[in-house]
Homo-oligomer: A and B are copies of this chain.
């Protein structure tokens, strides 16, 4: 047995690692549930939020079940029942992670508020963190169990690639619908409640009289917990599958360079296929340790704890890899690629934080002095600038990873994405922490708890907003690299099928008019998702404003605070709108590659993917960061950052308008576009063998 074979001994690592992390998630879940809950008012409000969140999830899952059934049928007919089954598995595990994680979050929110009520910031931090960790560990654990099981069952067999691609399509289409549906819900509720409350009725945020406030808090859960969870689950799956797909189809000569001393190409290829899973398992183990380190640091400054949690694990993984890989004879190029991803992810995260929390947002706040017009212009410009900075980092990471791996450069880019996502479990923990502490603040406000309590929840919430930017950096950076890798995998897969059929290689050259036309066609798709999600939020928010106005006018005593609002009506409007409006963009993403691939052929589809990548990656960064800048510029003014322009001033009102525009930008359209390009890529990869010979 050679050294490189030794690495293949770890093939159970994903399943075992995944099982351990699910066990820890279960323990943390039980711990959270058993913590003391709030007083009667708090529990009633938390109950509304939990019910609303679960009701949305159940209704969304029903829609998705129909979708899954249709796709299962189509895939079974076109690619066999195994493909259909793997698709369902990929989808089901995503839904399961979302369900468990959101349930935990809706228990953790009120218990975090209770800890704050008891005056303990460390306990409040710990509760929110544990609630988030249930999501983080479920997401990473289930992703690795799923892919690990498919690997164990099918390694060495030709079905492995179709199985993995189908699994990835399941994961990403659920992510798409969850992100878009959840995003429409959360921002329709947020914008609707804000306009009706702050602008029309002139009452503060989270005021209990506002019937939209419950829906707003539900939105935090369905969008930022369940939607984000599906998104990150998908990111991990897509990055690993992209690397495995390239490993399965790359030319022999290139594969050999991965394990230079290996005795056979078959062994080298087996290592190449196993490596992304093995390294992700290592990442999960490091993240598990990281979560407990973070828990132990609960008494420290929350911002420090969370930032270290995000940046530490990926770097630790790279350090371990640098030591371990040579022992198995694997090229250090992999370590460099992983490192490029890990460092690049942190750099994008910090840049995102810069553009959405530092100098640039002060300029947005300054621009608010001359009105909403200049505020919006400045915010749009900041969003565009952030594209430049983040994309340069992505280009550098891709460049380094590509050249570090030589002939296997495309695999290197995929491994950079794997490196960026190595800390998925802890990144998701911190991401879910955010909406939990946001919810805790909402519950404290609505229950009329004192300023001391709000101070604690406000601090935890503010930290969550900053770390959310870093988490977003990892997400968008890895998405772009993953799409580049998936794109390479698609091209390899098409030519693999053509070689098998003794056909000439596909002309993928930029001189091919089909490719050029495809590039233009691909540039359209992000705008379909962008416009439809913006409009969905706009129209649903409008309907919510009308309903809130109706309640204030028709419910006697509501304005005076002597009568209860009817939050369930708002929840219904938001739910119906989200489920209705997610269909068009969702189906566009899933069907566009199929239609283009069959109608115009694989070259036009390759061009389409390239065009969608260029436009989608930049557009999603632009929208996400412009939105973040407006949000924080408003908060900056609210905290008194703009001398002479307090909360309620004209400058503040201008900043609120910018924030309203930014809401769907950053939490609906931006993330929706980012997932669009991933869904298109995995669907294309899956159907590649079917259209390759056209």
Q: A residues bordering B, Cβ < 8 Å? A: 191, 195, 199, 367, 370-374, 376-378, 380-382, 384-385, 387-388, 391-392, 394-395, 398-399, 402, 409-410, 413, 480, 484, 487-488, 491-492, 495, 508-511, 513, 515-517, 519-524, 526-528, 530-531, 534-535, 537-538, 541-542, 545, 606-607, 610-611, 613-615, 617-619, 622, 656-657, 659-661, 664
Contact A392 B516 (CB under 8 A): no
Q: Knowing A384-B530, A398-B517, A399-B517 are in contact, say whether A377-B610 is a contact too (CB < 8 A).
A: no
Contact B381 A534 (CB under 8 A): yes
Residue among A367, A511, A619, A657 with the most chain B CB within 10 A? A511
CA distance A376 to B377 in the complex (A): 11
Contacts of A517 in B (CB 8 A): 395, 398-399, 402
Other-chain contact of A538, B367, B402, B511 (Cβ < 8 Å): B367
Contact A606 B381 (CB under 8 A): no
Offer 7 A-B interface pairs, CB within 8 angstroms, sorted by A: A373-B661, A374-B542, A377-B660, A392-B524, A508-B510, A519-B613, A614-B615
Contact A610 B527 (CB under 8 A): no
Contact B611 A614 (CB under 8 A): yes
Q: Knowing A384-B530, A510-B610 are in contact, say whether A373-B516 is a contact too (CB < 8 A).
A: no
Contact B380 A534 (CB under 8 A): yes
A611's closest neighbor in chain B, by CB? B614
Contact B527 A374 (CB under 8 A): no
Contact B657 A524 (CB under 8 A): no
Contacts of A373 in B (CB 8 A): 191, 195, 656-657, 659-661
Other-chain contact of A661, B376, B392, B480, B484 (Cβ < 8 Å): B376
Contacts of A391 in B (CB 8 A): 520-521, 523-524, 527
Contact A371 B195 (CB under 8 A): yes
CB distance from A374 to the nearest CB of B (A): 6
CB distance from A356 to the nearest CB of B (A): 15
Contacts of A528 in B (CB 8 A): 388
- Tell me the interface secondary structure of chain A in the complex: helix
Residue among A199, A377, A610 with the most chain B CB within 10 A? A377
Contacts of A541 in B (CB 8 A): 370, 374
Other-chain contact of A510, B480, B513, B606 (Cβ < 8 Å): B606
Contacts of A399 in B (CB 8 A): 517
CA distance A495 to B622 in the complex (A): 36
Contact A492 B519 (CB under 8 A): no
CA distance A486 to B398 in the complex (A): 28
Q: Knowing A373-B191, A509-B509, A661-B377 are in contact, say whether A516-B488 is a contact too (CB < 8 A).
A: yes
CB distance from A91 to the nearest CB of B (A): 28
Q: A495-B511, A524-B618, A527-B618 are in contact. List 15 more A-B contacts (CB 8 A).
A: A191-B373, A372-B657, A378-B534, A381-B534, A387-B524, A395-B521, A398-B516, A413-B513, A484-B516, A488-B511, A488-B513, A509-B509, A509-B510, A523-B614, A527-B622
Contacts of A611 in B (CB 8 A): 614
Other-chain contact of A378, B519, B535, B545 (Cβ < 8 Å): B535
Contacts of A516 in B (CB 8 A): 398, 413, 484, 487-488, 610
- The 8 A-B residue pairs whose C-beta atoms are closest, nearest first, are A373-B660, A384-B531, A381-B534, A611-B614, A523-B614, A614-B614, A387-B527, A523-B618
Contact B492 A195 (CB under 8 A): no
Contact B614 A371 (CB under 8 A): no
Contact B660 A520 (CB under 8 A): no
Contact A542 B510 (CB under 8 A): no
Contact A657 B376 (CB under 8 A): yes
Contact B614 A522 (CB under 8 A): yes
CA distance A520 to B611 in the complex (A): 10
CA distance A244 to B545 in the complex (A): 58
Residue among A394, A488, A535 with the most chain B CB within 10 A? A535
CB distance from A21 to the nearest CB of B (A): 33
Contacts of A195 in B (CB 8 A): 370-371, 373-374
Contact A527 B480 (CB under 8 A): no
Q: Knowing A371-B195, A380-B534, A524-B388 are in contact, say whether A519-B610 is a contact too (CB < 8 A).
A: yes
Contacts of A615 in B (CB 8 A): 523, 614-615, 618-619
Contact A367 B542 (CB under 8 A): yes
Contact A511 B513 (CB under 8 A): no
CB distance from A604 to the nearest CB of B (A): 9
Contacts of A410 in B (CB 8 A): 511, 513
CB distance from A410 to the nearest CB of B (A): 6
CA distance A657 to B376 in the complex (A): 9
CA distance A523 to B617 in the complex (A): 9
Contact A538 B487 (CB under 8 A): no
Contact A660 B531 (CB under 8 A): no
Contacts of A381 in B (CB 8 A): 530-531, 534-535, 538
Contact B657 A398 (CB under 8 A): no
CA distance A656 to B373 in the complex (A): 8
